[in-house]
Structure 1
Amino acid sequence: MQLNGAEIVIECLKEQGVDTVFGYPGGAILNVYDELYKHRDEIRHILTSHEQGAAHAADGYARATGKVGVCLATSGPGATNLVTGIATAYMDSIPVVAITCNVGVPLLGKDSFQEIDIAGVTMPITKYSFIVKDVNQLADTIRKAFRIAKMGRPGPVLIDIPKDVTAKKAEYEKENPGVYNREFTHIDEKEVAAAAEMIQASEKPFIFVGGGAILSGASKELKEFVEKTDAPVTDSLMGKGAFPGTDPRYTGMLGMHGTKASNYGVSECDLLVVVGARFSDRVTGNTATFAKNAKILQIDIDPAEMNKNIIIDQGVVGDIKAVLRKLNEVLPQQDHAEWMKKIQDYKEKYPLKYHEGVLTGPFVVEEIYRQTKGDAIITTEVGQHQMWAAQYFKYTKPRTLLTSGGLGTMGYGLGAAIGAKTGCPDKTVINVAGDGCFRMNMNELATAVRHEVPVIEVVINNHVLGMVRQWQDLFYDERYSATVLRDAVDYVKLAEAMGAEGMRATTQEEFREAFAKALASGRPVLIDCMIDCDDKVWPMVAPGAAISEAFDEQDLKEKNR
């Protein structure tokens, strides 16, 4: 049947099972929005306050549900406002399809009003960027975009459609996209055998889990693999929830703000098994000293990750779920009781701790965990509060911590929370934010109110840019350049002005009461939590240092005596 380009866009979204899109309209994309209006009972549109919020919401929706997130924007500044959100998804391998519309084909390349080469702009931060100048190619391009976003290592794809293409007609025939199977069929059996041999030869193995294990849906296979290997487990920020944070084998996060148990254990192990992690500099510290006593076995779907940041001894390329399944079939039960006891001793000797009796970020996160019984989706912004959310909430399931790991995007969390709650309406969704980050995209609180999305915004308010100040305090002789935010902004009044409920907590008891009330309210709530400006994230590894040199507040006091 003959349909115009805008109708083809909507029909293709319906083909892909899209039930929600996030966006902001404008002149160039009006034809698509007009068609979207006609299908509003089939595809829900969330009108965000800013296009960046739409991109983050699509990202949060994708992370929470495992589906492809979709965002829409018009040409020019509408399209460029998506860029930070697209880059965030790219760095964390999140499947998002961003659809923009541009000026008509005859006006391209002529500096027309609100024209930008958004396909060119986003080329380095997408898996693929399309511009569709022929309506006859539109349907196939959209289908291809969704396949690319999901296949192999996931990531964002951009489709730019000139306005006249959305008006022209073409023959459209519905297609069934089928079920995409992520698992590689061509896993090298020799690589699997070599990996199994390395594990059996090891006396002190350690397993390091990254976000790839979550994207693969490999939690069940991972747990079996850990138990067969009889090894302790650490994770990256992106890997949280792939392996249960309540399991006795779990040692906490690895790296700059990882636990001493994890950092010391990885520094002493004789085999490091890396499952879907990319050796971020925030994990490795000084690469010359990282896991220096260990052979390194890396499992990843992307061959480009092999030997990229750290030289490895053996790699297995393939979907993590499929690789672990194969390893579990051939690996005999291992026994490393002595090694496991040593790591357990580290856990007992070096627990995470914070100042008691006063309101702090760690207390807030632990109280959220207690009141939700760990059954919640946590989104975060970027900074101290992000690290506390990673350290003090015990993630037992995948897709329950949504955070910007690779790009470190301030302003990510609130949009992501809206996307997550939209995709998982039965889940409690809390965004843990810093006051500096909340300022970035606080306008999305109005989005939550407008669409009745009951997210809870917890602002850890220290009136400074906390993580930057921490570095200034420790490494810049307390020169607090441009990091003090002491002004007259009242976040409680701001929340109320946007139609949300606002509360303030200055003590532990006040936060307990406020959060309990927020959980019961069923509407968007902001809690402004006042903490000390000099609270820090511990432990810490200095930039460029070895992770074995992790230090905490007590170590610093003893050093300065």
Structure 2
Amino acid sequence: MTAQPKPATAERIRGADALLRALEAEGVGTVFGYPGGAIMPVYDALVDSPIRHILVRHEQGAALAANGYARATGEVGVCLATSGPGATNLVTGIADAYLDSVPMVAITGQVASHLMGTDAFQEVDILGITLPIVKHSYVIRDPNRIADTVQEAFRIAREGRPGPVLIDLPKDVAQATIDWQPAAKIAAEPPVQIDRAAVQRARTLIQSSQQPLLYTGYGIGIAQAESALRALTEASGIPVVSTLKGLGGVPSDHPNFLGMLGMHGSKAANFAVQESDLLICVGARFDDRATGKLAEFAPRAKVIHLDTDAAEISKLRYAQVHICGELNTLLPQLDCRPEIGQWRAQCAAWRADSQPRYDAPGEDIYAPALLRQLSEMAPKDAVVACDVGQHQMWVAQHWQHQAIHQHLTSGGLGTMGFGVPAAMGVALGCPGRTVICVSGDGSIMMNIQELATLRRYQIPVKIVLLDNSALGMVRQWQELFFTERYSEVDLSDNPDFAMLARAFGIDAYSIDRRDQVEPALRQLLATEGPCLLHVKIDPKANVWPLVPPNTPNHQMMDRSPAATPNT
């Protein structure tokens, strides 16, 4: 009788180790976090894990760094925090990822299962708190479900319209011992079947249009469909406008690109939208900042709407033709040759007439000119991450955008404090790339503690801090729409930002005259490791043009500084 082989002894590991093995199986190499009591078993397991942990100085920094990492790399960003305040400090970064469709998995420690619901120390219902701002969420109560839950969470974060997923891990589940079993592989979702009849209707509309316009958004970046978009506009000749987050889908210097539309969009883009007879909306959602007064947005245009998310179709503007599907597959099928020579000439004239000038008078530093110069001096593959405010709009207007994932900005949530941690995530996800953070004196104070993280890991982020001693965008609105009744916007008691950065151990210097700009930018780009350039600008400088609230996009205010004659 032949002896039967003995079954292999299952490997016994803790739930925390199973969590990290499951993350490794998803290709995770870097996580951002901050330890604490309930998440401590996971931090103990990290000691033996190949996953690199980046210790931030505030959990919001962890969520925003994971957010930036995901935007720049296209991979799922991962952040860790403990229960209670650690978990609640992640909420802003999770909401930012949700509104901007960023794939992210947030893992929070939780009090032991038997304490849940007892108001235990550092207990909050983070699942309930985050329900409106995640694609899905889990509380893992069975340690044997850890590997499968992680795999499912990553699939949900990536698929369709990406977004954040929360995993809440009670401390006793992380400490429990289990027989290790890797997750069973999940079959990929079948591709969405394209409606061929809808494609034909779209082609008929395009071919018969006289003034068509491509209106593009961040969905182009999610789908990595920039090449397909560029091929379509070049073959068809159809002009292109972009949302804030869609900038770079077509390069800024492309002759068919008219600029950003909306509240701080270019005159060419806004005029073209209002005069178009067909809007081909690709990966955009008719956001209020893009449309202005919605009832008067593109009043004569029919709409073709292409998106992966059916929930966005006809949500705000009825689409005569809508097609859900993969944009790289859809866009080539819309390759038509409409007769639009006159329309192209009109759009080119609007584009020529609305080119910004950078020869503002005086010796003070003109922020748009500095940003344009920096974008031209930086390497072509440089990534710029913005905070929120006037400087954010100046980057959108004046940077020479080359690709969507080279421009990171908080669009839906408008998160002040986004810039430094997001840039940190980019630099760690894209080593070797030049990463520039453009911030303001209001925004940078929101997460300035992350300068310590930059210093600890020598993350080579180049920070340009535009300092107008005010909450500039709020001040501008109070000036224009609240009869100059300025309320709580004065930041004239700012610290010396260069001295502050040096206290963190980061190279820093200040400039306040135009003749200092070029050498300062060269020094900034040449510095190894992190560096901060503090730039004093006019406290009264405003962002132009501007579409006032409840106003159609073509009715723009524009009081750009009078420029000196070219000689």
User: Which of 477, 486, 491 is matched with 1:480 structurally?
Assistant: 486
Matched, 1:92 2:93: no
Partner secondary structure for residue 159 of structure 1: strand
Tell me how far 1:178 sits from its aligned partner. 8.1
What amino acid does structure 2 have at the position aligned with 1:141? T
Residue pairs, 1:470-509, within 5 angstroms? 470-509=476-515
Question: Are residue 414 (structure 1) and residue 420 (structure 2) matched?
Answer: yes
What is the total number of aligned residue pairs between the two structures? 551
Q: For residues 195-210 of structure 1, what are the structure 2 equivalents within 5 Å?
A: 195-210=202-217
Q: Does 1:223 align with 2:230?
A: yes
Residue identity opposite 1:10 in structure 2: L
Query: SS of the counterpart of 1:241?
Result: coil
CA contact (8 A) 1:204 1:339 kept: yes
Three-state SS of the structure 2 residue aligned to 1:399 is helix
Q: How far apart are 1:309 and its partner, in Å?
A: 1.5
1:12 paired residue number: 22
Judge conservation of contact 1:300–1:316 (CA < 8 Å) in 2.
yes
Aligned to 2:272: 265
What stretches of structure 2 of length at least 5 have no aligned partner?
1-10, 563-567
Shift of residue 338, structure 1, vs aligned partner = 1.0
- Tell me how far 1:175 sits from its aligned partner: 4.6
1:78 paired residue number? 86
Mapped pair 1:510 → 2:516: yes
Contact 2:206 2:336 in 1 (8 A): no
SS of structure 2 residue aligned to 1:436: coil
Q: In the aligned structure 1, how far is the partner of 2:448 from the partner of 2:204?
A: 52
Shift of 1:261: 0.4
Match of residue 460, structure 1, among 459, 463, 466? 466
The answer on 1:541 being equivalent to 2:547 is: yes
Deviations 1:167-222 (A, max 9, x none): 112232235858968x8331211221111111111111011110000000001111
Deviation, 1:374, is 3.7
Residues 382-421 of structure 1 aligned to structure 2 (within 5 Å): 382-421=388-427
Kept in 1: contact 2:98–2:164 (CA 8 A): yes
Q: Which residue of 2 aligns with 1:345?
A: 349
Which of 1 and 2 has greater Rg? 2
Provide Cα deviations, 1:420-448, integer angstroms capped at 9, x if missing partner. 00000111001100100011101111111
- How many percent of aligned residue pairs carry the same amino acid? 45
The Cα shift of 1:46 comes to 0.6
Contact between 2:34 and 2:80, CA under 8 Å: does it hold in 1?
A: yes
* Aligned: 1:285 with 2:292: yes
Q: One-letter code of the match for 1:17?
A: G
Among residues 513, 520, 529, which one is paired with 2:535 in the alignment?
Answer: 529
Report the counterpart of residue 43 of structure 1 in structure 2.
51
1:119 is aligned, of 116, 119, 127, to: 127
The residue aligned with 1:238 is 245
Report SS of the residue matched to 1:129: strand
With 167-176 and 408-417 compared, the bigger mean Cα shift is at 167-176
Task: Call closer, same or farther: CA 1:554–1:138 in 2, change over 3 Å.
Answer: closer
Matched, 1:130 2:134: no
Which 10-residue stretch deviates more, 368-377 or 392-401?
368-377
Q: Deviations over 1:30-49 (max 9, x none)?
A: 1101111111xx21111001
CA contact (8 A) 1:199 1:229 kept: no
Q: Distance in 1 between matches of 2:245 and 2:191?
A: 22
Match of 1:323 among 330, 337, 343: 330
SS in 1 for 2:404: coil
Per-residue deviation, residues 368-411 of structure 1 (Å, max 9, x unmatched): 11211443100000110000011111111230001100000000
Measure the CA separation in 2 of the matches of 1:326 and 1:270.
20
Measure the CA separation in 2 of the matches of 1:488 and 1:265: 42
Contact 2:279 2:301 in 1 (8 A): yes
The amino acid that maps onto 1:548 is H
What is the CA distance between 1:488 and its match in structure 2? 4.7
Residue 148 (structure 1) aligned to one of 146, 156, 160: 156
Distance 1:533 1:549 in 2: 26
Match of 2:198 in 1: 191
With 536-545 and 313-322 compared, the bigger mean Cα shift is at 313-322
Distance in 2, matches of 1:218 and 1:365, equals 27
Distance 1:126 1:32 in 2: 22
Instruction: Write the distance in 1 (CA, Å) between the matches of 2:471 and 2:287.
Output: 23
Contact 2:63 2:93 in 1 (8 A): yes
Judge conservation of contact 2:545–2:560 (CA < 8 Å) in 1.
Answer: no
The CA deviation at 1:334 is: 3.1
Contact persistence 1:259–1:352 (CA under 8 A): no
Provide the aligned C-alpha RMSD in A. 1.7
Q: Please report the TM-score for the alignment, with normalisation by the length of structure 1.
A: 0.96
Residues 341 and 381 of structure 1: CA distance in aligned 2, closer, same or farther (over 3 Å): same
> 1:230–1:335: 8 Å Cα contact kept in structure 2?
no
The whole-number CA distance in structure 2 between the counterparts of 1:45 and 1:180 is 29
Instruction: Verify: 1:64 aligned to 2:68, yes or no.
Output: no
TM-score by length of 2: 0.95
Kept in 1, the 8 Å contact 2:207–2:337? The answer is: no
Q: CA deviation digits over 1:322-350, x for unaligned, max 9?
A: 211333xxx34334211110011111122
Residue 120 of structure 1 contacts residue 129 of structure 1 at CA under 8 Å; is this kept in 2?
no
Contact 2:469 2:494 in 1 (8 A): no
